[in-house]
Structure 1
Amino acid sequence: MNYLVAVLPDRSQAEAAYSALQQEGLPNDGINILGDGYQSADDYGLIDPNLAASKEIKREFYWLVGFGFIAGFAFNWLTAIEILPAIAPIGNHIIGGIFGAAAGAMGAYFSGGAVGLTIGSGDALPYRNRLNAGKYLVIVQGTNELVDRANRILRQFEPENIQGYTEPIGT
């Protein structure tokens, strides 16, 4: 499936573009308007960057906490630092491992969150920002030929941005 996303500055241009696409015979079920008074980004299914960030945090959390514990334990074992002199050396090694695990959890939170917000959401974040700024998105989905026809029609409205996407096979 191919997609074409055009960013238009106001509602009247989005409605005019939608009407022009309909007049050219494009199917109504393949044309969507996102913006105030129409579908929201969540209704349409644009990826929420916060959801992508939390998924990336969880993915990294499982690895980094375990490796952090092992690294903290090994560091304390090799350096023989006494964190609490009153307990046995193995207890200090375990406390060192707990500190390493905590560092791993912080690393997962900060790096996973940053990666999820910036990369995990793809182009959804810029489109969400434009919707929040009061702009409108006209999205056309269909075959390659249909998207090419829609591209020619939408360019007449001088959109701020127009971008085509191809959905990978198997999704």
Structure 2
Amino acid sequence: MTKSIVIFEDLEKCIQLFNVFKEKSVLLQEAILIPPSNPKISPDQTKLLNESGNNLIKSQLIEEIRILNPKLDRKLRQKDMSRWLMPFGFIAGIAFNNMTNLSTFSFLGLNDIGETLIGGLLGMGSGYLGSVVSSASINLNRNKELRSIFNLNKEGKWLVMLENQIGTELPWNLIKQSDPKDIIFIEG
């Protein structure tokens, strides 16, 4: 699958591209309109967005898109990993405590069950730390591309993120006919 960002100077060209896609029945996996990050959206543009609220136009801020926001991606990855690392850590902590019969917390006056539960909680904490470290260690090496996309968005450019369906190609001739400022490939 190919993911690309099409950059436009104004909203009207974005709407025209979406209308052409609708007329030609172009099948896309995803088509997201990303408004400029600075609040320079005029009332006319807001009216145009509301009028053209067809099912092809999905509008999101650039900070809400996982592939364009490494911090959001890292946070969601860490949350997913902690969902399975923490229970495994708890079980591993209980198993380790039962295998070694250590009485590390005997000064607290805990019996064997209390020692086992403390071991499980420490294992769960280890699982959480593992999810934090492992999610932060993945580097996607897209910083240069993302920086230019964020800068264009801050300059007031309208962005359209397009993703084709499996087995199809993006309609490049239709995209080029819409007179975009630039096209940046993210994946594919």
Q: TM-score, normalised by structure 2?
A: 0.51
Q: Which runs of 5+ in 2 are unaligned?
A: 22-30, 42-48, 50-58
CA displacement at 1:67 relative to structure 2: 0.6
Counterparts of 1:16-165 in structure 2, within 5 Å, are 18=13, 26=17, 28=19, 34-35=35-36, 36=38, 37-38=40-41, 42-43=60-61, 47-48=65-66, 49=69, 52-85=73-106, 86-112=109-135, 126=146, 129-131=150-152, 133-134=154-155, 136-139=157-160, 146-151=171-176, 154=179, 157=181, 159=182, 161-163=183-185
**Larger fraction in helix:** 1
CA distance in 2, matches of 1:74, 1:136: 56
Q: Which runs of 5+ in 1 are unaligned?
A: 9-13, 167-171
Match of 1:5, SS state, is strand
Deviates more, 1:99-108 or 1:130-139: 130-139
CA displacement at 1:64 relative to structure 2: 1.3
Change (3 A) 1:129 1:164: closer
Alpha carbons 1:7, 1:135 under 8 Å: kept: no
1:87-114 C-alpha deviation (Å, 9 max, x unpaired): 2233212211110011112223443466
CA distance in 1, matches of 2:124, 2:161: 47
Q: TM-score, normalised by structure 1?
A: 0.55
- In the alignment of these two chains, the number of paired residues is 148
Deviates more, 1:77-86 or 1:53-62: 53-62
CA distance in 2, matches of 1:29, 1:152: 10
Match of 1:82, SS state, is coil
1:42-81 C-alpha deviation (Å, 9 max, x unpaired): 3589625455544433432231111101111111222222
Change (3 A) 1:154 1:45: farther
AA aligned opposite 1:34: P
Percent identity at matched positions?
A: 22
CA distance in 2, matches of 1:57, 1:102: 14
